[in-house]
């Protein structure tokens, strides 16, 4: 079996055990739970899924006094239950239609909740654009829709797939994108308190219909959201092709990084990219006088996800990988400057305490070497981690080797830390040579030195989409 196939193989249905095999020493001040979410079940009966269409596996590693307990399961969303009962794929996916089926007028997105995870209102929530599912903190079983669901205006509206916690206000911030039927699309930002009360709402109207949005960053004055594509709605309604094949930009179009004011009535502005450039993910953003500073991951050409489809083979020429870019946008003059770091990355992270504040560092999975993966630029198949100095445009890397596949690194600050990078990076590494997955802990100030501790799980787990560390 090829090394990369471990990242697209089913996770165990359910696991629950103390981690016994530890190399090095787990820092005694690490306390809390590291959650992971991503693809976990790659088929429904005979129907095989694209990596980004698979059912979700959620895992949780709980740290206490140097000991670690791991539990995880393929979560039982309604879509998962329906497909287990039917024995085949029952719903349209983003990257694939049902075999032999034309999804005419089928606009319902598959609510598999395999993209991200956050903790709010005393429970973890597995999420993607179609829906957010509250999980039982002990068993990780789905308990029902998260309270955000009641704010969805209609079945076509989508949620922010990556909500953020603003440390300045202590609120969970998200948005709901609502397609326009007659007028252009709208996006409504909602800020929640810990009891899931919507304490602040702001709605903005976009420049056209069919705008696809993804990540979210927040400054003291703005919500920052990347426009990653436009959707050809008639093509979607025809049902002849997968939904993602109906997304793109017209020739010469300059994609936007939207800067939406956090107050009602103000006009949004945008950082315009170069033609063909595409952004999915953001590290962070902050205000600096008249400037809004945004740290983003920029692809020079549209992303080709074809290699993530079964049978996961090399297919045609691929685009270049993404690089970290610091944008400075002057709100008065409209001028933009860039600082580019020459390392290929995705799945970004920053210190949660510095989210929305002046910050310098970003962390990400990185292309540090090449293994046997079908697409060396496929970020689920990166072999290391990087720490990027956004201001200087420099980086420091850790390379896990060509047989190891690395997840997004999650930053956890040391107790009482006042320096931005004083903390740990926690990440998942699936090692094909050992046929197992490890949780590694690195010193964020010295990542090139390698892990402080490597915690070996009993199983090999598939790729990770995103994660979060919960101190509660």
Expressed as residue numbers, the domain containing 68 is: 1-136
- For 17, phi then psi, to 5°, come to -165, 160
Among residues 128, 52, 41, 38, which one has the least CA distance to residue 93?
52
In a domain, 35, yes or no: yes
Question: Can you tell me the distance from the alpha carbon of 322 to that of 308, in angstroms, rounded to the nearest whole number?
Answer: 17
- For 191, phi then psi, to 5°, come to -115, 125
In a domain, 87, yes or no: yes
CA dihedral 288, 291, 297, 298 (to 10 degrees): -160
Residue 395's pLDDT band (cuts 50, 70, 90): very high
User: 10: buried, middle or exposed (CB in 10 Å: 19+, 13-18, 0-12)?
Assistant: middle
Instruction: Say if residues 405 and 383 touch (Cβ distance below 8 Å).
Output: yes
Per-residue pLDDT of 422-435, as tens digits, reads 999 999 999 999 99
Question: Can you tell me the distance from the alpha carbon of 140 to that of 71, in angstroms, rounded to the nearest whole number?
Answer: 8
Span 271-299, mean pLDDT?
Answer: 97
In a domain, 338, yes or no: no
In a domain, 101, yes or no: yes
Per-residue pLDDT of 128-144, as tens digits, reads 999 999 999 999 999 99
Per-residue pLDDT of 26-78, as tens digits, reads 999 999 999 999 999 999 999 999 999 999 999 999 999 999 999 999 999 99
Calculate the average pLDDT of the chain.
95
Question: Can you tell me the distance from the alpha carbon of 178 to that of 201, in angstroms, rounded to the nearest whole number?
Answer: 14
In a domain, 74, yes or no: yes
Question: Can you tell me the distance from the alpha carbon of 421 to that of 406, in angstroms, rounded to the nearest whole number?
Answer: 20
Residue 316's pLDDT band (cuts 50, 70, 90): low
In a domain, 86, yes or no: yes
Read off the pTM. Answer: 0.96
In a domain, 113, yes or no: yes
Among residues 179, 208, 302, which one has the least CA distance to residue 251?
302
In a domain, 267, yes or no: no
Instruction: Say if residues 462 and 6 touch (Cβ distance below 8 Å).
Output: yes
Number of domains in the chain: 1
Per-residue pLDDT of 188-210, as tens digits, reads 999 999 999 999 999 999 999 99
């Amino acid at each position: 079996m090829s090394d990369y196939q471990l990242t697209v193989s089913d996770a165990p249905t359910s696991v629950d055990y103390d981690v016994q095999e530890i190399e090095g020493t787990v820092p005694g001040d690490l306390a809390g739970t590291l959650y992971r979410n991503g693809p976990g079940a790659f088929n429904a009966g005979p129907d095989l899924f694209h990596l980004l269409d698979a059912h979700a596996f959620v895992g949780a590693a709980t740290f206490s006094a140097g000991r670690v307990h791991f539990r995880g399961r393929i979560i039982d969303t309604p879509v998962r239950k329906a497909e287990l009962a039917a024995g085949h794929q029952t719903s349209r996916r983003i990257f694939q239609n049902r075999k032999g089926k034309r999804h005419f007028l089928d606009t319902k997105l598959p609510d598999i909740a395999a993209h991200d995870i956050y903790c709010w209102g005393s429970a973890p929530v597995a999420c993607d654009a179609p829906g957010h599912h509250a999980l039982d903190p002990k068993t990780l079983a789905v308990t029902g829709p998260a309270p955000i669901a009641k704010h969805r205006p209609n079945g076509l509206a989508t949620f922010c797939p990556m909500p953020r916690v603003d440390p300045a206000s202590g609120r969970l911030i998200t948005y709901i994108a609502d397609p326009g039927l007659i007028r252009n699309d709208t996006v409504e930002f909602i800020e929640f308190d810990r009891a899931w009360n919507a304490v602040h709402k702001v709605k903005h109207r976009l420049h056209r219909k069919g705008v696809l949005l993804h990540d979210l960053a927040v400054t003291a004055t703005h919500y920052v959201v990347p426009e990653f594509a436009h959707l050809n709605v008639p093509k979607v309604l025809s049902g002849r092709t997968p939904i993602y094949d109906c997304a793109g930009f017209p020739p010469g179009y300059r994609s936007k990084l939207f800067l939406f004011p956090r107050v009602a009535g103000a006009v949004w502005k945008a950082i315009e990219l170069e033609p063909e450039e595409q952004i999915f993910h953001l590290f962070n953003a902050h205000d600096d006088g008249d400037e809004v500073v945004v740290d983003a991951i920029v692809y020079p050409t549209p992303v080709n996800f074809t290699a993530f489809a079964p049978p996961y083979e090399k297919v045609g020429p691929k685009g270049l990988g993404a690089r970290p870019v610091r944008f400075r946008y002057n709100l008065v003059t409209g001028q933009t400057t860039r600082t580019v770091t020459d390392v290929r990355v995705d799945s970004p992270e920053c210190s949660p305490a510095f989210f929305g504040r002046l910050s310098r560092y970003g962390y990400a999975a990185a292309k540090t070497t090449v293994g046997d993966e079908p697409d060396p630029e496929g970020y689920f198949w990166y072999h290391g981690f990087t720490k990027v100095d956004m201001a200087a445009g420099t980086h420091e890397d850790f390379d896990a080797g060509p047989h190891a596949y690395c997840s997004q690194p999650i930053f956890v600050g040391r107790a009482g830390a006042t320096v931005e990078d004083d903390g740990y990076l926690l990440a998942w590494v699936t090692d094909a040579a050992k046929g197992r997955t490890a949780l590694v802990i690195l010193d964020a100030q010295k990542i090139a030195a390698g892990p402080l501790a490597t915690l070996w799980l009993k199983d090999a787990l598939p790729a990770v989409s995103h994660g979060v560390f919960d101190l509660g």
